[in-house]
Amino acid sequence: MWFELAFFRRVVDNWAIELSTSCRLQNVSPEVSTMRVPELKPFRMGSMAAVQHRATTRTSNSDSTKTAKSKTTSSSKTTTKRKRARTATATPPAALHGLASEAPAPTIEVSEPGQFGRINVMDITPAEERGIFPARVELGEPFEMTAQVFIEGRTKVGATAIVRNPRGKETLRRPMTCVNPGLDRWVVTVKCGDHSDLKPWEDGYAAVKRQLGEWTVTVEGWEDTYISWLHDARIKVRVKDDVNNALDSGAELLARWAATPDANLTARDRKTLEKAAETMADASLSAEDRLAAGDNPRIATLHDTHPLRDGISPSQPQRFKVERPKSSFAAWYQFFPRSEGATINPATGKIVQGTLKTSMVGLERAAAEGFDIVYLPPIFPIGVTNRKGRNNSLIAGPDDPGSPFGIGSELGGHDTVDPLLGTMDDFKALCQRAHELGLEIALDFALQCSPDHPWVKAHPAWFKHKPDDTIAFAENPPKKYQDIYPIDFNADMAGIEKEVERIMNLWIEAGVTIFRIDNPHTKPVRFWQDVIAAVTKKHPEILFLAEAFTRPGMMRALSYVGFTQSHCYFPWRNTKEELEEYLPTTNGDDGYYQHNTFWPTTPDILTAYVRDNGIAGHCVRAVLAALGSPSWGIYNGYELIENKQRPGFEEQIDNEKYEVKVRDWSKAKQFGVAEMLTSLNKIRRAHPAARSYHNLTVLQSSDPGVLAFARHTPAELTGTGHADTLIVVVNLDGHNAHQAMIHLDLDELGLPTDRPLNVRDELTGREFQWGWDNYVSLAPWADVAHILSVQ
């Protein structure tokens, strides 16, 4: 046929609401919902063939060339296809000849970038930076797209999002919703592929790998001829103005709709439209009954699911880089191997440090608490020159192990396992055991050296020198790092890149699947771009986490060049006001590039909030981290309430970076934090709503100490066939009870408005009924939070 059409959703609204040129969707009006739908029966003169003929012959009058092409295409279709979407060619009775009707909007070919189609589609978000850096999402992660879609005059339009995989195959088609008629802004939530938890070494991962790469989403604008007609027809029938022309036009429209391949109608749906067209064209019926044939819930449902789309105008395809499982949705657990299994020698009173072999117990603990990734600080030999002592003191005692970030000694550098921890075979065995437990191993890669590192002698040009030709140690005035030499990338960046690539490939072969990069923002962005490109070309499954706390521009650039996740400023966002601003930022447009990982504490970070709010504060921050971001992490010892600060610093006293910790893990049960962590990871795995950076809504709360937010994923994108909604309410005060009224905008969240919501607290199992406004009372000695799932 001369018109090209595809699939879209619309709802019929009260005709009196919209008289402007906006793109507001129209719902079925109250009077229509109660209108009698007449029995659909053939009318006496002409029946469906005449209506179909009028719908098709007018296209030949307006464009004979396209009609001829359509006939040729139609004649080549198979019998099966013809049954699904056929074009009527019956000869009309004389009584129906000569009735004129407006031609539908044609699809106008776009032959070069920048040309508009028949419908205008602009300002699509997320937008690629200079058309070079596509937005990043995890396989199966729901995300939001928006666009401006409009047409001239008061004609109604619709919009559809079409998702295609790297091979160009359409995998998803979803209608968009106009959320701001004044700005012609349309929104849709889509996903690229289906969520998976498969790890790179597991059976079946090859099928996941084939889905990774560059996907596209195209926004198709189109004229909503049915809604435009319905708006005017309701008015004309109501005021009895030019009724016959309006209804005849509607009959032709329904007949054309029934014959449109793009609508993808079933035989039953097509029959419904054909009968409706026959009834509407029957002049023996009253105007009200004729209108009701095309203005009723059955037709409205077809418009929702299989609309007639005229003048389809596709945008330029928007690219998305689809990454493997755990690139967005991940739970990290950090421990120091030298502290796992460490003991005190009863004879000497000295600490006997742990090893890679004794670290197996740390893997067991991480798996039992439900984490996905175990992150290890550097496991390389530690330098002796200027070695740091306890609490970062400048003088190390004879038994001080030094900081694992002072990398390199006469025993080796970044490609060597510290002999005090074990051998490369021990590390491979650790990775193998982690994989058996379903854990990935992330290794810290700090690109810095102690004065004893082999590179200092082999490649002196790789380091900055003072005028007196001595190498400068690292500093960030007033901070100084006397045990570290920083790399100078200006003399031989290509040589440094080649060496780093070699070392990373060595650890990948040993079992590492993720690198946590220390301070990547202090190295050239181009350096990381080259290294990550080279490593992932050979090992596309490798992920990179940036330990970067810096300016937004640098953070965005690091994400562009391949850092999949990033540390962020979450530890310092503790008040309700701060969190209400920060959560939508992390879970908004920034989340297409910078995947923030929420860590309540790290070896370098212990905030006053965690210090001052005890067990309740630890649980509050864990809830916020686990549900506030798809990616979160815990530094071990959190379960034991290790919250004493080093005086004058936002870090722990007796910092594990400078000494070996001997912990009594049997005490964890008395605090209950480990149980909370386990519950949070279980909730996250069970609920698709927890997996996306693009579905968080902050909720109104009447108390300044109570924060509330919701995560919602529609049924079409959960993979379960059911919508998933989580409502999180947190008492931010670790010492006092707080009460608040929590307001839910049920419409905005896509929740039922005609009945109470049955919600279940995933932390306690208790059930409640919620609605628009809901009373909550939380006491830190009882419940620090509700995590409510809508049943």
Please give the average per-residue pLDDT across 354-367, as a whole number.
Answer: 98
The token pair that represents 123 in the structure block: 């300002």
DSSP string, 371-402: -SEEEE---S-B--TT---GGG-SS--TT---
The tens digit of pLDDT for each residue in 740-756 reads: 999 999 998 989 999 99
- C-beta neighbour count of 329 within 10 angstroms: 25
> How far is 586 from 693, CA to CA, in rounded Å?
7
Q: What percent of the chain has pLDDT over 90?
A: 81
More confident residue, 430 or 82: 430
Here the tokens at position 496 are: 């440094």
Q: Which residue has the higher pLDDT, 130 or 738?
A: 738
pLDDT in tens, 670-696: 999 999 999 999 999 999 999 999 999
Mean pLDDT across the stretch 289-302?
Answer: 96
Is 388 annotated as ligand-binding?
yes
pLDDT in tens, 465-505: 888 888 888 887 777 788 899 899 999 999 999 999 999 99
**Active site annotation includes 518:** yes
Token reading at 111: 């032959």
Whether 739 has a binding-site annotation, put simply, is: no
- Give the chain's largest Cα–Cα span: 112
Given this model, what pLDDT does residue 128 score? 83
pLDDT at 49 exceeding the cut of 80: no
Q: Are 165 and 171 in contact (CB under 8 A)?
A: yes
| Residue 716: band (very low, low, confident or very high) from pLDDT cuts 50, 70, 90 | very high
**Whole-angstrom distance, CA of residue 671 vs CA of residue 618:** 10
What does the alpha-carbon distance between residue 464 and residue 486 come to, in Å, rounded to a whole number?
7
Return the pLDDT at 482.
84
| Residue tagged active-site, from 518, 590, 639, 703 | 518
> Does 290 score more than 80 pLDDT?
yes
Distance CA 613, CA 616 (A): 6
List 282, 547, 724, 783, catalytic entry: 547
In the prediction, which pLDDT does 735 show?
A: 97
Residue 709 contacts residue 696 (beta carbons within 8 Å): yes
Distance CA 702, CA 729 (A): 12
pLDDT tens per residue, range 147-193: 999 999 989 999 999 999 999 999 999 999 999 999 999 999 999 99
Structural domains for the chain: 30-323 (2.60.40.10), 689-790 (2.60.40.1180)
Q: What is the mean pLDDT of residues 14-18?
A: 33
Specify the pLDDT at position 45: 39
CA distance 484 to 446: 11
Using alpha carbons, list the distances in angstroms from residue 444 to 124, 326, 404, 544, 635.
Answer: 38, 17, 10, 10, 14
* Of 18-32, 182-196, 497-511, minimum mean pLDDT range: 18-32
Give the global pTM: 0.86
Non-local (6+) Cβ contacts of 749 within 8 A are: 697, 710, 712, 725
242 DSSP assignment: S
Q: What is the pLDDT of residue 89?
A: 36
Per-residue pLDDT, 20 = 34
Q: Which residue has the higher pLDDT, 559 or 51?
A: 559
345 is in an annotated binding site: no
Examine the residue annotation and report whether 547 is marked as an active-site residue of this protein.
Answer: yes
Mean of per-residue pLDDT scores for the chain: 88
Is residue 353 a known part of a binding site? Answer: no
Confirm if 705 and 733 have CB atoms less than 8 A apart.
Answer: yes
Long-range contacts of 607-611 (CB under 8 A, 24+ apart): 607/571, 607/572, 607/574, 607/650, 608/645, 608/650, 609/574, 610/571, 610/643, 611/643, 611/644, 611/645
Map tokens 């009318």 to a residue.
43
Report the C-alpha gap between 689 and 628 in whole angstroms. 11
